[in-house]
Amino acid sequence: SLKKSYLTAGLCLFAFAATLMGQSTQELDKLKAVYLFNFTKMVSWPANSFSDEKSPIRIAVSDKCQFKPVLDILATNSKPIKGRKVEIIQFSRFEEIEGAHVVYFDEKASKEIEDYQEKLGLSPTLTVGEGSQFAVQGGCLGYVVPKTKLRYWINLKAVQNGKLKMAPQFLRTADKLIK
């Protein structure tokens, strides 16, 4: 059932977070990739954000993203999510993220979130970036690493503006909900 899938995904996120203590930057990047991929299981997009019933969920990552290879493996080896395959794309310019359902901004791009948010407008895009300030400044979700544990903040207004729906279990696992 869908509820069971959300619960399982949430427990997996916590298990991965628990193993993070004392891990290397490379392992932290792998964990960020797993989180990012699993976020697609806990978010629902408006039907009109897909061209048809078989269109993939598109995750866009910056061209300097260290964990794209991990995302590629996850997308290739995972079952469809909500009946859709997952496609990973890289971007170096804003125009390349049009039509993406999830956009990950690396540390440098996270500092430019306000520019991207203005261009994205109210599009149904889950924006994920580095640091709590990413969420505070308008991104949907910001990765936070206090005491070597990967956590995240969620900006509820940004989620609502994008007409995205998040599973209640997902919201409960956030370190902070920004209203």
Distance CA 126, CA 146 (A): 23
- What pLDDT band is residue 148 in, cutting at 50, 70 and 90? low
How much is the CA Rg of the chain, to the nearest whole Å?
Answer: 15
Residue 107 has pLDDT above 60, yes or no: yes
- What pLDDT band is residue 116 in, cutting at 50, 70 and 90? confident
Residue 61 near residue 90, CB atoms below 8 Å: yes
Residue 167 near residue 143, CB atoms below 8 Å: no
Residue 40 has pLDDT above 70, yes or no: yes
Structure tokens at 50: 């897909």
Residue 60 near residue 87, CB atoms below 8 Å: no
The mean pLDDT of the chain is 84
Residue 109 near residue 129, CB atoms below 8 Å: yes
Residue 19 has pLDDT above 50, yes or no: no
Residue 139 near residue 132, CB atoms below 8 Å: no
| Through-space distance between the first and last CA atoms of the chain, rounded to whole angstroms | 30
Residue the block writes with tokens 């970036």: 129
Tell me what pLDDT residue 11 has: 45
Residue 111 has pLDDT above 70, yes or no: no
> Which element (helix H / strand E) includes 160?
helix 156-161
Tell me what pLDDT residue 18 has: 45
Tell me what pLDDT residue 160 has: 94
What one-letter code names the amino acid at 33?
Answer: A
Compute how many other C-beta atoms are within 10 angstroms of the C-beta atom of residue 43: 22
